[in-house]
Amino acid sequence: MSTAAEAHEHGPFEHHGPPPIHYSSRVSPSVLGMFLFIASEIMLFGSFFTVYFFDRVVNHGVGGQWPPDGFHRPVFVAGINTLILVTSSGTMHWADTSIKRGNRAGMQAGLVLTLCLGLTFLLTQVIEYHRIGFNTSNSSFAATFFGLTGLHGAHVFVGLTILLAMTIRAFRGHFSPEHHHGVEIGGIYWHFVDVMWIVVYVTVYII
């Protein structure tokens, strides 16, 4: 994310340029921006959980059963997938702490690992969709199932795009113990995607 601060990397005290920026808060604009963005993302997921709640609880699903007869949820595969994603949060954290300590190789390895784990997750998800045995038009159960997991999948995709950019930059020699905002902010987003998955997994697959 571009901040006004970055616009003046070449020296804030030149004549005729903008006056030096005065920051009125400890938190950096980009971190705050990311947190607010995540707040609105949570609300987006909230709307999907709301429709899930209406279809399942208020409307008692189809024939009072959830999942309705004939629907099978691949709890086990998705469980493995959950483990994969949780691990990727660990590797992401490793990348972040590494660069803060000046360990460039650690950061690179962490990022690549995270990327691979995330890709595995997404691929598993696609294969699961393919083999699941029902499609979007089969009752409101299917709608909320594909709705929540699909929305989350889209977020993994966005997260992976951000990760890819971070990885490219990491290998091109960007980031240092002093300048690691890129990793930190991308990391926050990735952790969010991760935590969200746990909520989705518990809601959609388990209860």
Partner 1 sequence: MTVHEVQHEHAPAPRATGLRRLLVPGWLRIFWVTPLFFGLGLGLPVLIRWLAHWDPVWKGSVLVSVELVTTPLGFLVGLGGFDYWVRYASGRPTLPEDHSGHGAHSWRDYFRINTDHKVIGIQYVVTTIFFFCVGGLLAMLFRAELAQPGDQFFNPQTFNVLVSNHAALMIFLFIIPAFAGLGNYVIPLMLGAADMAFPRLNALSFWLLPIAGLMLIVGMVTPGGGPSAGWTCYAPLCSHQPLGQVFFNMGVQWAGASSIMTALNFLVTIITMRAPGMTFWRMPLLVWANFTTSLLVVIATPFIAGSQFFVMLDRVLHTNFFEAGGGGYVLGYQHIFWFYSHPAVYIMMLPGFGIISEVISVMSRKPIFGYRLMALSLMAILVLGFSVWAHHMFVAGMAGWLRVPMMVTSMVIAVPTGIKIFSWLATMWEGRIHFTTPMLFALGFLSMFVIGGLSGIYLASVPIDIHASDTYFIVAHIHYVLFGGSVFTIFAGIYYWFPKMTGRMYDERLGKLHFWLTFIGFNLTFFPMHFIGLQGMPRRVADYADRFADVNLFISIASFGLGASTLVFLFNMVRSWAHGAPAPGNPWRALTLEWQVSSPPPVFNFDEIPQVVGNPYEYGVPGAKHAIFGAPTPAPVPAD
> From the CB of 80, what's the least distance to partner 1, in Å?
24
Quickly count: other Cβ atoms within 10 Å of residue 136's Cβ. 12
* CB-nearer residue toward partner 1: 92 or 166: 166
Q: What are the DSSP E strand ranges found in the chain?
A: none
Q: Per rule CB under 8 A, is residue 141 in the interface with partner 1?
A: yes
Contacts of 61 by beta carbon, 8 Å cutoff, 6+ apart? 55, 67, 68, 140, 141
31 Cβ neighbours under 8 A, 6+ residues apart: 181, 184, 185, 188
Decide: 197 and 82 in contact? Cβ < 8 Å.
Answer: yes
Residue 13 neighbours by CB under 8 Å, 6+ apart: 20
Contact residue for partner 1 among 70, 179, 198, 202 (CB under 8 A): 179
Collapse the DSSP code of 65 into the 3-class scheme (helix H, G, I; strand E, B; otherwise coil) and give the result. strand
Q: In terms of CB distance, is 65 or 79 closer to partner 1?
A: 65
**Contact predicate 187/95, CB 8 Å:** yes
The verdict on 50 binding partner 1 (CB under 8 A) reads: yes
Q: Which is nearer to partner 1, 46 or 79 (CB)?
A: 46
- The 97-136 site mask, x for binding partner 1 (CB under 8 A), equals ---------------------------------x-----x
Using CB under 8 A as the binding criterion, the count of chain residues that bind partner 1 stands at 70
176 touches partner 1 by CB under 8 A: no
Interface with partner 1 (CB under 8 A):
1-10, 12, 14, 16-29, 32-33, 36-37, 39-41, 43-44, 46-48, 50-51, 54-55, 58-59, 61-63, 68, 130, 136-144, 146-147, 164-165, 168-169, 171-172, 174, 178-179, 181
